[in-house]
Structure formats: C-alpha cells, structure tokens
Amino acid sequence: MSGTSADEIRKHVKVYVMVFVALMVLTVATVGVSYLELTIPLAILVALVVATIKGSLVARYFMHLVGEKKAVTWSLVLTAVFFCVLMFIPLFAMLDHTGQ
Amino acid sequence: MDTVATLDHSHADHEHKASWWRTYVFSVDHKVIGIQYAITALVFLLLGFILMMIMRWQIAYPGQPIPWIGQFLGDANAPGGIMLPEFYNQLGAMHGTIMVFLGVVPLAVGGFGNYVMPLQIGAPDMAFPRLNMASYWSYFVGGVVMLLSFFAQGGAANSGWTSYAPLSIIATSGQTWWLFGMVFLITSSLLGSVNFIVTIIQLRAPGLTFMRLPFFVWTQLVTGFLLLLAFPPLESAAVLQLMDRLAGTSFFMPSGLVVSGEALDVSGGGNPLLWQHLFWFLAHPEVYVLILPALGITAEIIANNTRKPLWGYRVMVYSLIFLGFMSFIVWAHHMFLTGMGTAISAFFQTTTMIISIPSVVILSALFISLYGGSIRFTTPMLFALAFMPMFGIGGLTGLPLAFSLPDLHLHDTYYVIGHFHYVVAPGTIFALFGGIYYWFPKATGRKMNDLLGRIHFWGTFVCMNGIFLPMLIQGLAGMNRRMYDGAAQYQHTQGVLVWNETIFHFAVAMAVFQLFFIVNFFWSMKKGAKVTSDNPWKATTLEWATPTPPPHGNFVTPPEVHRGPYEYSVPGAVQDFTPQNERR
Amino acid sequence: MEIPYTVEDREDTGLNNVKLGIWLFLASEVMLFGGLFSSYVLLRVGAETWPVGASILSVPIATFNTVVLIASSVTMVMAWASLKMNDFGKFKLYLGSTVGLAVLFLCVKAYEYADKFSHDLYPAESTFLAIYFTVTGLHALHIVGGIVVNGYFVGPGSKMWKTAPEQFTNRIEAAGLYWHFVDLVWIFLFPVLYLL
C-alpha cells in the first residue's frame, strides 16, 4: 500500500484500537454463550456466526481487505468457493451413504 | 526479425563472474532452473519406465525368474530372481508416483513452464527467483526421499500411488517415506504455483494484455491455480496419515478392524473414505495439471506449423478457465464404488459429464485450426498431430467411467489403466516430446536431428498403441488392475491373457525407440546443426525474440507487444508471420 | 537484473509482487486448514459419541490464549502503521511485542499439551484428541514460523529500513498478513474445539 499517507494511518490506528475492543467483547461473548447449554445445532450456529464476525473484522481492518485489488479479491472468492466445496460435499457424500 | 546476438556487456561488467556452482547448480535464473527440472524429470521418467518394464515382464511371464536384473533385486524382493507379490506392489505404487509427481508434472510445469513462460511474456525472470530455486531443490529432495524408500525395511510404498487407508496405515515403513517425500513435493509445487501466478499477472511486457497471451501461458496460469488450491488438502491428509502411522491415531482407521486375525489396538472411529475424499480432491485436478501444459504446447506447435492463427482462441481460453473451475467438483467419480448414495453419485456424474465439454471444445478447436493451414510436417508437428487423436481416445474412453453404472463393471480394471495412459502417454508425453524438439534450438542454438526424431516418433506412436489398446480390451473383459500375476488365476480373464505378452513386446520395442531420442538429445547439444537465426521456426511469440540461447535477463531491450500471439499469414504482410513485438 | 514491481505497484493490477504473492500463499493455507476442518466435520458427524470440548480441554486457559493472539495481531498491524508513520522505534517495540506475545501463546500451549500428556491423554486415545492435537499442532507450527520471520525482521532484517524503507515496509505488511491469518485460524479453532 505505497499510497497511504501518514495522516490516514493515524486515523487507521484509532480503528485498530476499536477493533481490538470489539474482538475482546466478542471473545467474552462466545465463551459466555457456551455456558448457556444450547442445543448442538444452535450452539454450532452461534459459535460460527460469532467467529465469522470476528474473522471479518480481522480481515477487513487488519488485513485491509476492503478495496483490495481485483486479482487478490477474485483469488480469495475462488478459494472461498472451493473451501465450501471441501467442507460440504464430502459431508453430503457421507450422509447419502448406502447401507447402514 | 532476428535480434543481435550480443550480450549486454555493461551488465556483465557489474557482476564478477559467478562460480560454477552458482551458475549451474544453485542458480536463480529461470532458464537454468527450467533445464534442471527438465533433466531431473526425464531421468525420473526413464526410471518409472524401467519399473514398468519389470512389472510388464512379470505380468507376461508370472512366476518365472526375471532375466538379467533378477539376480540384483535381492532376496527380499525376488528370491531366485522370481518376483514376490510384495515387490510387485512396490513397483506398481512407485511407478505411478514417480511418473505423475516426479516425471510428468515437473517436466510439464517445472521444466517447460519455468523455461518458456517468462520468455513468452517478455519478462527478465520469474517474480521470485530465489523462491524458484527453492522449489526445484524441494522437488529434488522429495525425489531422493522417494528413491531411498526402496531401501527401507520392507521396501518402498506398496499401497498404490493412491495410498488408500487402512492398508496404507498398516503398510511397511516405505509408506512413511512416501508421505515425507510427498510433503517435499507438495511444498515445491506450492512455492512454484505462487511464483507462476504472480509472474504471469505482474511481469507481462507492456502491451501484452491477457487476451494476447500465448495459449501456453494461459494453460500455465490455470495450472498454477489448480496446484495452489488443490494440493493443500492432500498435504493435510498426508499429515493425518503420518499421525495414524506414527502416533497411533485413528483418522482413517475404522472401529473394529481386524488384521491377520487380531483386532488392531487403535481407538477406531476413523473413516477410510476421509482419506479418499482428501486424496482425490487433489488427484482429480492433478490430472488436469497433467494435460493442460500439454494442450498449451500443442497449441503453440500447431499455430506455428500451420502458418495460421489458432481457431477460436477466445473460446479456448474461456473453456480452459471453465475446465479449471469444474476440475474441483468432479473428484468422487473415482469413488463410485465406495457406497455413495444415488443423489451424490448423480451430482458427480453430472459434473463429470459437464467437464467433458470444455475438453472437447479445446480439442476441436485444435483440429479445426488445421483446416486451411499450410502444414509443415516438422518433427514437433508430428508429435502435436498425433497428440490430438490420442488424447481424443483417452478422453472418449473416459466417458463410460464417468457414469456410475458402467463404472461398476470397469472400475479398477485394465480399462481404467488403458484410459488414463492414453491421455498421459501418447497424450501428454507426446506433447512434451514435441515441446523438446520445438524449443531445443532456442535453448541450445542447435537443432535436434530430424531423421532420428522421425524414427523416435513413428516407433513410439506405434508402440504406445500396441501397449495401451489391448489394455482397453482386457479391462472390458473384467481383468483387474494391480494383480502381480497378470490375473492369470481368474477364469474370466483367460481369454485376454494372451495380450500380456503382446504388451510386453511392444514395451520392449518402445524402450528401443526411446534410445533414438536419448542419443539425439545429448548428441545434438554438441553436434547438432547450428541454427542460423534466433527464430528458426519463424514463430510469432516473444521467446523467439531473444538471443540464442537467451542471456541472463533474457531480452537485450525490454520488448513491447503490439499484436496478438498468432499473427500468421496476415493478408498484406511482407512475411507469413508477424512477431508480437514488431512495431506497427 | 531487477525484477519490476517488487516494490512499486504495477499500474493495471494495482499490486506489487510481494502483496499478490502473500495473498496467494494465504489462499493455499485456507485450503490446508480447510482439509483439517473438513476432516473434523466428517469425523464428528460419523462418530457415535463426541465429547464436549470443555469436558476435556480448559476453556479459561484457551480464552486467555485467544486474547494473547488477538493482541499480537493488534501489535503486528501497529508495527506496520509505525513504519508508515516513519517511527522506527515504535515499529521495533510493536513487532517485538508481537513476537513476545507469540512466544507466550506457545508456552501456554505447551503447558496445555503437557497437562494432557500427564493424564495419559495422547492423540491415539480418541479421534477428538487426535484432531485436537493435530490441528492445534499444525497451527502452532505456523506460529513458530511467524516467530522466526518476525524475529528476523525485528533483528538483523531491520537493517533494510535504512537502505530500502519502502521495500522493508512492504515486507512487514506481508508478514503482517501472514500473522493475521494465523490469528484468523485460531479465531475459528478456539470455539470449534473448545466450546462445541
């Protein structure tokens, strides 16, 4: 990012601190929720949603993903698609198993 | 347009002469690294070929002492020169591993990709030259590990190149060597693919837009993405298998497994199919890694030797991209017999049928490119011309395998072996041979001998068909693969056993014809007819605009591109070809 | 011979080689951990019983470690920001803190592992422990890699700030992207292994 000036960086620093606080809050929240003894499917959903929010904050603000160039974003979109394929298709294959 | 074949002397003045080690062994120059990959890969191809010869002899004459080399194989492998089934299994697993991971891909991607691609895009080198060197040496170490595994206790890996669990978990120590070897090879591949993609995106010469790229460069770009995204799950699977073998975990070990009458002392709860999913998630895109560079090389040779642009360049590029994407969602057609339900089987049948479409489009475009062409039957062109119908047979024979119903009969038979060898052997390897004859003059300044080249071509072409066509017949009769006695003990195969000897004879003949290539390759380096121009084939792409051989930094002056890659026989032009970098 | 666009951005892609390269590498890492996450899903769905993470693992310790790693991500991005604001002293402080926090994370992890081993809870015991040790172990190896790289940049590698400041800043940005990714993986690992 050879174009950002020192002033812009100072504004970013404020954001970094706010993101850190948000991540701390979400960490406490996700641990807290785990003590609520939700049903497994709901617990998984909540945990993944919170993790996704935290991950998005890291990606967007620390890794500067917003406004990143096309070659990078499209490579990551492609990766995300294949990641989902790897996550779900073997699972479907296992669930659609013949026999017991 | 010939360039002045002088080196940039001001550049040479700055650097003192590098040592022999830095120039030829630990070089960061993509051309040296490309040649290193190519020579190493050719040696591995020869080695894999020799393993196959021993196997085919055993299949043709099961239980008989192996002539000449039988005495040297040791009592653990072949007591009295008679091959043990355990040794046959090692040969089978390592033939596949060596050919795919140490031979074809390193030659097609590491060799041709490294040498030709930066030249074709007008770059001075790869984006990360030191990373490039690291990729080669990681491959080399992986290769050494694989070879050393033959001397491990119990010999080399013997659970097929596919290393299916649970057999691979309880297999002898050679399997552990295989896994470590794969880690080195995968690392090499990942570093290389990052390098290739960044180089193609970032280091194209001014004026070289994506739609002006030679088709070969497009194939290397898509191949780079296949390697980048498909290999890591196999790396994680290799880690899991290492854990199962070394730490006693049960990632792939099901509960209640009994081996030789004894229940295994493991926690169980694992899933052998998990290995298959992770393995084939890589191994299917891997077969496209095997074919795409070959399609690229064939396209270059055809355009050059028809003196015409490729037909349907744009369609070919879009098909290539679509093919690359689809290759990630077809893998379980290798798993139709694992008990998958009808829904998921239908999904994979459908995606597999869809992926045949871009394949056919690209092959058709290559065929149509011949129409109306002024064909020069140079040695590279012979290989490119033969590639097309051979790849066609390979592709067509894949269709029955794509449907789960006929696959019930054909899975794990010699039909499968015939199918994929047609694609890789008279398919990819023919294109690679063609590429060697084609680019040899650029790399060495000398042409390979034509007569030897044609003998090599015709002999190999006939023998390839003599070896693999009978396999299709044997497979249709239900002959199983991976049987150390060539399925001699089964009643249903008795009628097709006769082909085993035929196949062996053609294999021997094919070995003899490769001698013409090997002798030609080394002899021509020193004594071949010198080329009188930097562009002896009168080609349009940028690699022919360098001095011969290209110096460090490749181009005397950085090229600028003004037109597409295949401006042959342009009406009104002075010559029947216009190089990409020639000014308007 | 200079490779173009190593430091300065190429006009049409808007990227320099290092940035594109590190993102592609991270894409491959997503697939690497993806393979392990996929294995976790398959093994858990196929298992007759699966322990709740908290019954075997210590949630408070891992929560502490999560805070440590997230903090190290903040110090990492602050290290890069300090370079952009031309403050080399702050850069060293922040990057040094990143390394320190990373070492702390590993120490806590080592304590966790030792605690498990002392109760005879090895990877071979169950598929839960197998996947726990393997995926956190691979993650820890990535932390070690980060410590080596960042340690180099705090130490001998920092000399480049004097000779090629822009290139050095790019390298820190790349190292930062890698480090944030390692943090990102843990953000998913922690709830999946410990809380579900």
Q: How far apart are CA A22 and CA A16, in angstroms?
A: 10
The answer to whether C74 contacts chain A (CB < 8 Å) is yes
Tell me the pTM. 0.96
Which among C15, C81, C187 has CB closest to A71? C15
Radius of gyration of chain A (CA): 19
**Which domains are delineated in chain B?**
30-251+269-545 (1.20.210.10)
Q: How far apart are CA B368 and CA B385, in angstroms?
A: 12
Number of compact structural domains in chain C = 1
Interface test with B, best of A89, A91, A92 (most B CBs within 10 A): A89
B269 with C126: Cβ contact below 8 A: yes
Domain that holds residue C151: 59-195
In a domain, C32, yes or no: no
Q: How far apart are CA B207 and CA B213, in angstroms?
A: 10
pLDDT tens, N- to C-terminus, chain B (584 residues): 334 333 444 444 445 578 889 888 899 999 999 999 999 999 999 999 999 999 999 999 999 999 999 989 989 999 999 999 999 999 999 999 999 999 999 999 999 999 999 999 999 999 999 999 999 999 999 999 999 999 999 999 999 999 999 999 999 999 999 999 999 999 999 999 999 999 999 999 999 999 999 999 999 999 999 999 999 999 999 999 999 999 999 999 999 999 999 999 899 999 999 999 999 999 999 999 999 999 999 999 999 999 999 999 999 999 999 999 999 999 999 999 999 999 999 999 999 999 999 999 999 999 999 999 999 999 999 999 999 999 999 999 999 999 999 999 999 999 999 999 999 999 999 999 999 999 999 999 999 999 999 999 999 999 999 999 999 999 999 999 999 998 999 999 999 999 999 999 999 999 999 999 999 999 999 999 999 999 999 999 999 999 999 999 999 888 999 999 999 999 999 999 999 999 87
Look up residue B142 and give its amino acid. G
User: Which residues of chain B have a Cβ shorter than 8 Å from any chain C Cβ?
Assistant: 11, 124-129, 190, 193-195, 197-198, 201-203, 228-237, 239-240, 243, 247-251, 266-267, 269-271, 274, 277-278, 281, 552-553
The contacts of residue C159 (CB under 8 Å, 6+ apart) are none
Burial class (CB in 10 A: 0-12, 13-18, 19+), A99: exposed
Q: How many CA atoms lie within 13 A of B110 on its CB side?
A: 35
Both tokens of C177, joined, read 């992207």
In a domain, C104, yes or no: yes
Q: How many CA atoms lie within 13 A of B456 on its CB side?
A: 24
For C:21-50, CB contacts with A below 8 A are 23-24, 27, 30-31, 34-35, 37-38, 41-42, 45-46
Which among A85, A92, A94 has CB closest to B328? A85
Helices (H), chain C: 17-46, 53-56, 59-84, 88-118, 127-154, 160-163, 165-190
In a domain, C122, yes or no: yes
How far does A72 lie from chain B, in Å, by closest CA? 11
In a domain, C6, yes or no: no
Look up residue B336 and give its amino acid. F
In a domain, C26, yes or no: no
A4 with C84: Cβ contact below 8 A: yes
Both tokens of B242, joined, read 């290492």
Which residue in A has a C-alpha nearest to residue C75's C-alpha? A16
For A:35-54, CB contacts with C below 8 A are 40, 43-44, 47-48, 50-51, 54
User: What number of C-beta contacts closer than 8 Å exist between A and C?
Assistant: 132
How far does A98 lie from chain C, in Å, by closest CA? 14
CB atoms < 10 A from the CB of B61, how many? 16
Q: Are A86 and C34 in contact (CB under 8 A)?
A: yes
Question: In CATH, what number is assigned to the domain containing residue C168?
Answer: 1.20.120.80
- Tell me the chain B residues in contact with residue C48 when contact means C-beta distances shorter than 8 Å: 269
Interface test with A, best of B197, B234, B340 (most A CBs within 10 A): B340
Which among B329, B342, B343 has CB closest to A85? B329
Task: Please state, in angstroms and as integers, the Cα–Cα distance from residue B358 to each residue in B319, B327, B418, following that order.
Answer: 5, 11, 22
Which among B128, B198, B271 has CB closest to C46? B271
ipTM over 0.95: yes
Closest CA to B183 of B243, B224, B127: B243
Q: How far apart are CA B249 and CA C141, in angstroms?
A: 19
Q: Are B384 and B367 in contact (CB under 8 A)?
A: no
Interface test with C, best of A34, A84, A89 (most C CBs within 10 A): A34
How far does C128 lie from chain B, in Å, by closest CA? 10
A69 with C37: Cβ contact below 8 A: no
How far does C176 lie from chain B, in Å, by closest CA? 18
Q: Is the dihedral of CA C83, C86, C89, C90 positive or negative?
A: negative
The answer to whether C3 contacts chain B (CB < 8 Å) is yes
